[in-house]
Amino acid sequence: MTLPKAVAFAHWMIAQNVRPGDTVIDATCGNGGDTAFLAEAVSPSGHVHAFDIQGEAIQATYARLKKESLDSYVTLHHCSHERAASVLTKMESTGVRAAVFNLGYLPGSDKQIVTSASSTTAAVLSYLHTFSPGVPVIVVVYHGHPGGKSERTAIEHLAAELLEQEVRVLRYSLEFQEKAPPYVLTFEKIGEDTPHLSE
Ligand code: SAM
């Protein structure tokens, strides 16, 4: 057995939950690695909605998908991930079978543009509100860059504040590593109720 790194573990979780024909969200498409993985998983009859605020990322993802003949399974949205509920139809939103976030900056580009605590937590919460019980919201947390620690604190704060009767949270983390490696937080709504935060 080889314990997988964070991204490989996130992909394993996707593979357990996503089937051909499903609708899924890539909340941070970047260079398209997760988008391509999701597109393979839902093809030939499903669809990926992929988000990024950087035009450069949207173009890089499109080029990758085109090269791998996966572009017809993906809609690219050049906007922030918390807008998913307004750009997807109600039927698409409620039918989503998984969402994945890969936090931090676009590899190989301007490290000033990173995911932020406020939009990440707002998006995770809105996905939990909209999705059906049992749909994983998978967040790969990078915390080694400037701003990464405050984003990690915010997402962990959200995880701690959600009521355990309404949302389960899994942490997958390789421990005792020299550098701070990314880790995974997966949120899963477990009842029909809209998740609440504790007082
Ligand atoms: N999943 C990507 C891949 O496989 O290549 C890597 C994603 S990269 C670590 C993080 C991405 O999040 C960057 O491309 C960045 O532009 C994007 N991003 C930052 N804030 C965002 C937001 N509010 N909504 C959507 N994307 C955002």
CATH of the domain at 120: 3.40.50.150
Which DSSP category does 162 fall into? B
For residue 50, the CA-to-ligand 1 centroid distance in Å is: 10
Q: Is residue 81 a part of any domain in this protein?
A: yes
Q: Is residue 37 a part of any domain in this protein?
A: yes
Q: Is residue 198 a part of any domain in this protein?
A: no
Q: Would you write out the chain's pLDDT as a tens digit for each of its 199 residues?
A: 999 999 999 999 999 999 999 999 999 999 999 999 999 999 999 999 999 999 999 999 999 999 999 999 999 999 999 999 899 998 898 899 999 999 999 988 878 888 999 999 999 999 999 999 999 999 999 998 888 899 999 999 999 999 999 999 999 999 999 888 999 999 999 988 788 888 6
Let me know: does 60 contact 26? Beta carbons within 8 Å: no
Provide the residue range defining the domain that includes 121: 6-189
CA dihedral in degrees (82, 34, 13, 130; nearest 10)? 20
For residue 75, the CA-to-ligand 1 centroid distance in Å is: 15
- Please tell me whether the interface predicted TM-score (ipTM) of this complex is above 0.85: yes
Q: Tell whether ligand 1 has an atom less than 6 A from the beta carbon of residue 54.
A: yes
Let me know: does 100 contact 34? Beta carbons within 8 Å: yes
Q: Count Cβ neighbours within 10 Å for each residue of 72-99 and write b for 16 or more, e otherwise.
A: ebbebbeebbbbbeeebeeebbebbbbb
Alpha carbon 181 to chain centroid, angstroms: 17
Residue nearest to atom 2 of ligand 1 (CA): 30
Q: Is residue 197 a part of any domain in this protein?
A: no
The alpha-carbon radius of gyration of the chain (Å, integer) is 16
Residue 196's nearest CA partner among 113, 129, 102, 133 is 129
Q: Is residue 134 a part of any domain in this protein?
A: yes
Task: Give the separation between CA 30 and CA 175, rounded to whole angstroms.
Answer: 26
Q: Is residue 17 a part of any domain in this protein?
A: yes
Tokens encoding 129: 């509100």
Q: Is residue 199 a part of any domain in this protein?
A: no
Q: Count how many domains the chain has.
A: 1
Q: Is residue 114 a part of any domain in this protein?
A: yes
